[in-house]
Amino acid sequence: MSTVLNVALPVFAIIAAGILMGRLKVLGPASSEALNKFVYFVALPAVLFLSTARTPLGEILNGPFLGAFLGAMLLVYFGGALLGGLIHRERAAVRCMQGLTASFSNTGYMGIPLFLAAFGADRLAPAILATIVMSVIMVGIAVIWLEFAQSSGGLGKALGDVGRALMRNPLIVASAAGVLWSFTLGVGTVPRPVVTFCELVGGSAGPCALFAIGLFIGTRPFRADVGEIGWVVALKLLAQPLLTWALIAHVFPLDPYWAASAIILAALPTGGLTFVVASQYGVYVERTSAAILVSTILSTVTLSALLAVYAPAV
Protein backbone atom coordinates (compact mmCIF):
# COMPACT_ATOMS: atom_id res chain seq x y z
CA MET A 1 0.00 0.00 0.00
CA SER A 2 2.93 2.34 0.59
CA THR A 3 3.67 2.48 -3.15
CA VAL A 4 0.14 3.70 -3.89
CA LEU A 5 0.17 6.13 -0.98
CA ASN A 6 3.46 7.60 -2.17
CA VAL A 7 1.73 8.46 -5.47
CA ALA A 8 -1.87 9.15 -4.40
CA LEU A 9 -1.12 11.32 -1.37
CA PRO A 10 0.81 13.98 -3.32
CA VAL A 11 -2.05 14.10 -5.86
CA PHE A 12 -4.57 14.60 -3.07
CA ALA A 13 -2.26 17.11 -1.34
CA ILE A 14 -2.15 19.32 -4.46
CA ILE A 15 -5.97 19.29 -4.63
CA ALA A 16 -6.09 20.07 -0.90
CA ALA A 17 -3.68 22.98 -1.37
CA GLY A 18 -6.03 24.43 -3.98
CA ILE A 19 -9.00 24.02 -1.64
CA LEU A 20 -7.08 25.78 1.16
CA MET A 21 -6.07 28.71 -1.05
CA GLY A 22 -9.68 29.05 -2.16
CA ARG A 23 -11.09 28.90 1.37
CA LEU A 24 -8.57 31.47 2.58
CA LYS A 25 -9.46 33.69 -0.41
CA VAL A 26 -5.81 33.93 -1.42
CA LEU A 27 -6.95 33.02 -4.94
CA GLY A 28 -10.41 33.30 -6.47
CA PRO A 29 -12.50 31.64 -9.21
CA ALA A 30 -10.73 33.64 -11.92
CA SER A 31 -7.47 31.93 -10.96
CA SER A 32 -9.02 28.49 -11.43
CA GLU A 33 -10.28 29.52 -14.87
CA ALA A 34 -6.86 30.91 -15.85
CA LEU A 35 -5.07 27.74 -14.72
CA ASN A 36 -7.48 25.58 -16.70
CA LYS A 37 -6.96 27.61 -19.84
CA PHE A 38 -3.18 27.39 -19.42
CA VAL A 39 -3.41 23.59 -19.05
CA TYR A 40 -5.82 23.19 -21.96
CA PHE A 41 -4.16 25.51 -24.47
CA VAL A 42 -0.46 25.35 -23.53
CA ALA A 43 0.71 22.63 -21.12
CA LEU A 44 -1.28 19.61 -22.29
CA PRO A 45 -0.65 20.21 -26.00
CA ALA A 46 3.07 20.22 -25.21
CA VAL A 47 2.74 16.90 -23.37
CA LEU A 48 0.70 15.29 -26.15
CA PHE A 49 2.95 16.47 -28.97
CA LEU A 50 6.12 15.22 -27.30
CA SER A 51 4.56 11.91 -26.20
CA THR A 52 3.23 11.04 -29.64
CA ALA A 53 6.28 12.35 -31.53
CA ARG A 54 8.59 10.14 -29.44
CA THR A 55 6.45 6.99 -29.58
CA PRO A 56 6.85 4.59 -32.53
CA LEU A 57 3.63 4.13 -34.47
CA GLY A 58 3.86 0.36 -34.02
CA GLU A 59 3.88 0.79 -30.24
CA ILE A 60 0.86 3.08 -30.37
CA LEU A 61 -0.93 0.37 -32.38
CA ASN A 62 -0.49 -2.44 -29.82
CA GLY A 63 -3.69 -4.26 -30.83
CA PRO A 64 -4.39 -6.61 -27.89
CA PHE A 65 -3.61 -3.96 -25.28
CA LEU A 66 -5.79 -1.41 -27.06
CA GLY A 67 -8.55 -3.98 -27.42
CA ALA A 68 -8.62 -4.76 -23.69
CA PHE A 69 -7.85 -1.34 -22.19
CA LEU A 70 -9.70 0.86 -24.68
CA GLY A 71 -12.51 -1.67 -25.11
CA ALA A 72 -13.32 -1.72 -21.39
CA MET A 73 -13.01 2.05 -21.22
CA LEU A 74 -15.49 2.55 -24.06
CA LEU A 75 -17.93 0.10 -22.48
CA VAL A 76 -17.81 2.07 -19.22
CA TYR A 77 -17.95 5.40 -21.08
CA PHE A 78 -21.12 4.62 -22.97
CA GLY A 79 -22.52 2.61 -20.06
CA GLY A 80 -22.07 5.61 -17.77
CA ALA A 81 -23.73 7.89 -20.30
CA LEU A 82 -26.63 5.42 -20.60
CA LEU A 83 -27.03 5.26 -16.82
CA GLY A 84 -27.02 9.05 -16.65
CA GLY A 85 -29.91 9.12 -19.09
CA LEU A 86 -31.88 6.33 -17.43
CA ILE A 87 -31.39 7.36 -13.79
CA HIS A 88 -31.09 11.14 -13.94
CA ARG A 89 -32.70 12.03 -17.30
CA GLU A 90 -29.76 14.28 -18.09
CA ARG A 91 -29.21 16.16 -21.36
CA ALA A 92 -26.70 14.85 -23.90
CA ALA A 93 -23.75 17.04 -22.87
CA VAL A 94 -24.07 16.00 -19.21
CA ARG A 95 -24.36 12.31 -20.16
CA CYS A 96 -21.15 12.69 -22.16
CA MET A 97 -19.33 14.02 -19.08
CA GLN A 98 -20.85 11.37 -16.81
CA GLY A 99 -19.43 8.70 -19.10
CA LEU A 100 -16.06 10.44 -19.41
CA THR A 101 -15.76 10.92 -15.64
CA ALA A 102 -16.62 7.25 -15.05
CA SER A 103 -14.02 5.96 -17.53
CA PHE A 104 -11.10 8.41 -17.77
CA SER A 105 -8.08 7.06 -15.87
CA ASN A 106 -5.46 9.35 -14.36
CA THR A 107 -2.71 7.62 -16.33
CA GLY A 108 -0.44 10.62 -16.78
CA TYR A 109 -0.20 11.97 -13.26
CA MET A 110 -0.79 8.80 -11.25
CA GLY A 111 -0.18 5.95 -13.69
CA ILE A 112 3.33 6.89 -14.81
CA PRO A 113 4.61 7.73 -11.27
CA LEU A 114 3.00 4.53 -9.96
CA PHE A 115 4.71 2.41 -12.62
CA LEU A 116 8.03 4.13 -11.93
CA ALA A 117 7.74 3.25 -8.24
CA ALA A 118 6.37 -0.27 -8.70
CA PHE A 119 8.12 -1.55 -11.85
CA GLY A 120 10.98 0.80 -12.77
CA ALA A 121 11.77 3.31 -15.51
CA ASP A 122 12.36 0.63 -18.18
CA ARG A 123 8.78 -0.67 -17.95
CA LEU A 124 6.76 2.48 -18.61
CA ALA A 125 5.51 1.57 -22.10
CA PRO A 126 1.97 0.52 -21.04
CA ALA A 127 1.46 3.69 -18.97
CA ILE A 128 2.73 5.94 -21.77
CA LEU A 129 0.54 4.19 -24.35
CA ALA A 130 -2.48 4.43 -22.03
CA THR A 131 -1.84 8.16 -21.55
CA ILE A 132 -1.82 8.70 -25.31
CA VAL A 133 -5.04 6.70 -25.66
CA MET A 134 -6.75 8.66 -22.90
CA SER A 135 -5.69 12.06 -24.15
CA VAL A 136 -6.17 11.51 -27.88
CA ILE A 137 -9.03 9.03 -28.34
CA MET A 138 -11.16 9.66 -25.24
CA VAL A 139 -10.82 13.44 -25.31
CA GLY A 140 -11.46 13.33 -29.06
CA ILE A 141 -14.71 11.41 -28.57
CA ALA A 142 -15.79 13.76 -25.78
CA VAL A 143 -15.03 16.88 -27.84
CA ILE A 144 -17.02 15.53 -30.81
CA TRP A 145 -19.97 14.59 -28.57
CA LEU A 146 -19.97 17.92 -26.74
CA GLU A 147 -19.75 19.89 -29.97
CA PHE A 148 -22.69 17.95 -31.42
CA ALA A 149 -24.66 18.39 -28.19
CA GLN A 150 -24.09 22.14 -28.05
CA SER A 151 -24.60 22.80 -31.76
CA SER A 152 -27.93 23.93 -33.17
CA GLY A 153 -29.24 24.27 -36.70
CA GLY A 154 -29.47 20.74 -38.03
CA LEU A 155 -27.06 17.93 -38.90
CA GLY A 156 -25.16 19.85 -41.58
CA LYS A 157 -24.36 22.75 -39.26
CA ALA A 158 -23.51 20.34 -36.44
CA LEU A 159 -21.02 18.48 -38.65
CA GLY A 160 -19.48 21.78 -39.68
CA ASP A 161 -19.24 22.93 -36.07
CA VAL A 162 -17.58 19.66 -35.05
CA GLY A 163 -15.09 19.83 -37.91
CA ARG A 164 -14.11 23.40 -37.10
CA ALA A 165 -13.88 22.58 -33.38
CA LEU A 166 -11.57 19.61 -34.02
CA MET A 167 -9.31 21.68 -36.28
CA ARG A 168 -9.06 24.36 -33.57
CA ASN A 169 -8.84 22.03 -30.58
CA PRO A 170 -5.27 22.29 -29.19
CA LEU A 171 -5.27 18.73 -27.81
CA ILE A 172 -6.34 17.17 -31.10
CA VAL A 173 -4.01 19.35 -33.17
CA ALA A 174 -1.00 18.64 -30.92
CA SER A 175 -1.64 14.89 -30.95
CA ALA A 176 -2.05 14.79 -34.73
CA ALA A 177 1.13 16.82 -35.17
CA GLY A 178 3.04 14.43 -32.92
CA VAL A 179 1.82 11.32 -34.76
CA LEU A 180 2.68 12.95 -38.11
CA TRP A 181 6.15 13.84 -36.83
CA SER A 182 6.76 10.29 -35.59
CA PHE A 183 5.53 8.77 -38.86
CA THR A 184 7.38 11.07 -41.27
CA LEU A 185 10.54 12.15 -39.44
CA GLY A 186 10.91 9.33 -36.95
CA VAL A 187 11.16 9.18 -33.18
CA GLY A 188 14.19 10.78 -31.59
CA THR A 189 14.32 13.57 -34.19
CA VAL A 190 12.57 16.28 -32.17
CA PRO A 191 15.07 19.13 -31.72
CA ARG A 192 16.48 19.47 -28.23
CA PRO A 193 15.13 23.01 -27.64
CA VAL A 194 11.62 21.80 -28.54
CA VAL A 195 11.98 18.82 -26.21
CA THR A 196 13.14 21.06 -23.38
CA PHE A 197 10.27 23.50 -23.93
CA CYS A 198 7.68 20.70 -23.98
CA GLU A 199 9.15 19.05 -20.89
CA LEU A 200 9.26 22.31 -18.92
CA VAL A 201 5.78 23.46 -19.89
CA GLY A 202 4.26 19.98 -19.88
CA GLY A 203 5.61 19.25 -16.42
CA SER A 204 3.24 21.86 -15.04
CA ALA A 205 0.10 20.36 -16.59
CA GLY A 206 -0.66 17.85 -13.84
CA PRO A 207 -0.03 20.07 -10.81
CA CYS A 208 -1.89 23.00 -12.38
CA ALA A 209 -4.92 20.88 -13.30
CA LEU A 210 -5.07 19.32 -9.83
CA PHE A 211 -4.59 22.66 -8.07
CA ALA A 212 -7.34 24.18 -10.24
CA ILE A 213 -9.70 21.39 -9.15
CA GLY A 214 -9.04 22.18 -5.49
CA LEU A 215 -9.36 25.91 -6.12
CA PHE A 216 -12.71 25.36 -7.84
CA ILE A 217 -13.96 23.34 -4.86
CA GLY A 218 -12.58 25.88 -2.38
CA THR A 219 -14.22 28.92 -3.98
CA ARG A 220 -17.72 27.53 -4.51
CA PRO A 221 -20.37 25.82 -2.40
CA PHE A 222 -19.61 22.11 -2.74
CA ARG A 223 -22.75 20.38 -3.96
CA ALA A 224 -22.81 16.85 -5.32
CA ASP A 225 -25.37 14.07 -5.47
CA VAL A 226 -23.86 11.33 -3.28
CA GLY A 227 -25.74 8.62 -5.13
CA GLU A 228 -24.57 9.82 -8.53
CA ILE A 229 -20.95 10.23 -7.44
CA GLY A 230 -21.19 6.76 -5.90
CA TRP A 231 -22.12 4.95 -9.11
CA VAL A 232 -19.69 7.02 -11.20
CA VAL A 233 -16.79 6.14 -8.87
CA ALA A 234 -17.91 2.48 -8.68
CA LEU A 235 -17.80 2.24 -12.47
CA LYS A 236 -14.32 3.77 -12.48
CA LEU A 237 -12.64 1.83 -9.68
CA LEU A 238 -14.48 -1.51 -9.86
CA ALA A 239 -16.33 -2.09 -13.15
CA GLN A 240 -13.60 -0.85 -15.49
CA PRO A 241 -10.75 -3.05 -14.19
CA LEU A 242 -13.13 -6.03 -14.01
CA LEU A 243 -14.18 -5.53 -17.63
CA THR A 244 -10.52 -5.15 -18.65
CA TRP A 245 -9.69 -8.45 -16.95
CA ALA A 246 -12.62 -10.17 -18.68
CA LEU A 247 -11.57 -8.90 -22.12
CA ILE A 248 -7.98 -10.08 -21.54
CA ALA A 249 -9.14 -13.47 -20.28
CA HIS A 250 -11.58 -14.16 -23.10
CA VAL A 251 -10.85 -11.93 -26.11
CA PHE A 252 -7.45 -10.17 -26.09
CA PRO A 253 -4.79 -12.40 -24.47
CA LEU A 254 -1.70 -10.54 -23.26
CA ASP A 255 1.55 -11.56 -21.60
CA PRO A 256 1.48 -11.30 -17.79
CA TYR A 257 3.10 -7.85 -17.56
CA TRP A 258 0.94 -6.16 -20.19
CA ALA A 259 -2.17 -7.85 -18.78
CA ALA A 260 -1.41 -6.67 -15.25
CA SER A 261 -0.59 -3.21 -16.57
CA ALA A 262 -3.90 -2.91 -18.44
CA ILE A 263 -5.89 -3.88 -15.33
CA ILE A 264 -3.96 -1.55 -12.99
CA LEU A 265 -4.25 1.37 -15.43
CA ALA A 266 -7.98 0.75 -15.78
CA ALA A 267 -8.34 0.90 -11.98
CA LEU A 268 -6.76 4.36 -11.63
CA PRO A 269 -9.00 7.16 -10.33
CA THR A 270 -10.61 9.76 -12.58
CA GLY A 271 -8.03 11.99 -14.26
CA GLY A 272 -7.82 15.74 -13.88
CA LEU A 273 -8.19 16.28 -17.62
CA THR A 274 -11.92 15.55 -17.28
CA PHE A 275 -12.21 18.67 -15.11
CA VAL A 276 -10.32 20.69 -17.72
CA VAL A 277 -12.73 19.53 -20.45
CA ALA A 278 -15.77 20.11 -18.22
CA SER A 279 -14.58 23.64 -17.43
CA GLN A 280 -13.84 24.41 -21.07
CA TYR A 281 -17.41 23.49 -22.07
CA GLY A 282 -19.13 24.61 -18.84
CA VAL A 283 -20.73 21.20 -18.29
CA TYR A 284 -20.75 18.93 -15.20
CA VAL A 285 -17.92 20.87 -13.54
CA GLU A 286 -18.89 20.50 -9.86
CA ARG A 287 -19.69 16.81 -10.12
CA THR A 288 -16.52 16.09 -12.07
CA SER A 289 -14.39 17.70 -9.37
CA ALA A 290 -16.22 15.68 -6.69
CA ALA A 291 -15.68 12.41 -8.57
CA ILE A 292 -11.96 13.13 -9.00
CA LEU A 293 -11.57 13.86 -5.29
CA VAL A 294 -13.56 10.81 -4.08
CA SER A 295 -12.05 8.35 -6.58
CA THR A 296 -8.51 9.51 -5.75
CA ILE A 297 -9.06 8.87 -2.04
CA LEU A 298 -10.74 5.47 -2.50
CA SER A 299 -8.20 4.30 -5.07
CA THR A 300 -5.55 4.02 -2.36
CA VAL A 301 -7.42 0.88 -1.22
CA THR A 302 -8.38 -0.63 -4.59
CA LEU A 303 -5.00 -0.01 -6.25
CA SER A 304 -3.14 -1.43 -3.25
CA ALA A 305 -5.19 -4.63 -3.54
CA LEU A 306 -4.43 -4.94 -7.26
CA LEU A 307 -0.71 -4.29 -6.78
CA ALA A 308 -0.63 -6.93 -4.05
CA VAL A 309 -2.02 -9.43 -6.55
CA TYR A 310 -0.19 -8.48 -9.74
CA ALA A 311 3.12 -6.83 -8.80
CA PRO A 312 4.75 -10.02 -7.42
CA ALA A 313 3.72 -11.94 -10.55
CA VAL A 314 5.37 -9.59 -13.05
What confidence tens digit (pLDDT) does each residue in 90-133 have?
889 999 999 999 999 988 777 877 786 777 756 777 887 888 78
Per residue in 252-295, pLDDT tens?
999 999 999 999 999 999 988 888 889 888 899 889 988 988 89
**DSSP assignment letter at 39:** I
- List, as one string, the DSSP characters of 42-82: IIHHHHHHHHHHTS-HHHHT-HHHHHHHHHHHHHHHHHHHH
Say what the pLDDT of residue 253 is.
95
Q: Per-residue confidence at 154, pLDDT binned at 50, 70, 90?
A: low
pLDDT at 80 (0 to 100): 95
Residue 23, pLDDT > 60, answer yes
pTM across the whole model: 0.79
pLDDT of residue 163: 67
Per-domain residue ranges of the chain:
2-313
Rounded to the nearest 10 degrees, what angle do helices 205-218 and 2-23 cross at? 50
Given the candidates 3.40.50.2300, 3.40.50.2000, 1.20.1530.20, 1.10.599.10, the CATH classification of the domain at 2-313 is 1.20.1530.20
- Between 159 and 53, the higher pLDDT residue: 53
Give the range among 157-161, 173-177, 290-294 with minimum mean pLDDT: 157-161
> 240: pLDDT confidence band, cut at 50, 70 and 90?
very high
**pLDDT tens per residue across span 35-49:** 888 888 888 788 778
Helices (H), the chain: 2-23, 29-38, 44-53, 57-60, 63-88, 92-103, 112-119, 125-132, 139-150, 155-168, 170-184, 192-202, 205-218, 226-234, 240-250, 256-266, 273-281, 285-310
